[in-house]
A = this chain, B = another copy of it.
Amino acid sequence: MFERPVITAFRWVPDFAKGQVRDLRVRWALEEVGQPYDVRLVDGVTVKAAEHRRLQPFGQVPTYEEDGLSLCESGAILLHIARKWPGLLPADVQGRAHAEQWVFAAMTSVEPAIMDLALIDLFEADQPWSAARRPASLDRVRGRLQDLSNRLGDKLYLEGTFTAGDLMMTCALRGLGPSGLLDEYPNIAAYVARCEARPAFQRALAAQLADFDAEPVPA
């Protein structure tokens, strides 16, 4: 009998990170393919301990374990799930390569720009250089969003039907948080809302939020 996969997630995160931590991507993928899973919760200490680093050398979440396979990096876990169960990758070579293209575009062309802006707004907000660095960072984000908006056009999904690429792109775009930037690109805003409205996403988000404690473990 196939055992349920086990993923790791944080027991507690600050409010701004709720609904953003990367186990959401794995939960969403598993919900899309209809595969139940179990969660092992970690905290800021156990995630950096040797036992967890055997699964995740950089001391991060998520990890993924099933029947003798352990895996880390949300992108790789997503592709593994998408290969193992139907629902996230087209069957043909071209459709599949294009879905993977959007997974990488989300994580390596779009997300780095968004993360730089988030770094400025969340972690370096009180630094003297924050205001000076922000305009160029914002320009980079807007450039990526405009390119994405042009490509998306009036399509429902990046390749017509929902794929792993839309899942990852939505998660990358959600990193914009409450910045209001999505409102400048109505077709992207509608696309993100469309993906977030999927029942699988709603279940995944609710599950991540439900797993958080109200307070961090005392140090």
Interface positions of A (Cβ within 8 A of B): 53, 57-60, 68-69, 71-76, 79-80, 93-94, 97-98, 100-101, 103-105, 107-109, 111-112, 115-116, 124, 127-129, 132-133, 144, 147-148, 150-151
**With a CB–CB cut-off of 8 A, which chain B residues contact A129?**
127-129, 132-133
- Determine how close the nearest CB of chain B comes to the CB of A136; give it in whole angstroms: 9
C-alpha gap A129/B133 in the complex (Å): 9
Count of chain copies: 2
B80 touches A151 (CB 8 A): no
Across the interface, name the chain B residue whose C-beta is closest to A106.
Answer: B73
C-alpha gap A103/B73 in the complex (Å): 9
- Determine how close the nearest CB of chain B comes to the CB of A153; give it in whole angstroms: 11
**With a CB–CB cut-off of 8 A, which chain B residues contact A98?**
71
B73 touches A147 (CB 8 A): no
**With a CB–CB cut-off of 8 A, which chain B residues contact A105?**
57-58, 72-73, 76
Contact of A101 among B76, B101, B109 (CB under 8 A): B76
**With a CB–CB cut-off of 8 A, which chain B residues contact A107?**
104, 107-108
C-alpha gap A72/B75 in the complex (Å): 17
Across the interface, name the chain B residue whose C-beta is closest to A143.
Answer: B58
Most B CB within 10 A of own CB, among A58, A80, A147: A58
C-alpha gap A79/B98 in the complex (Å): 11
B58 touches A109 (CB 8 A): yes
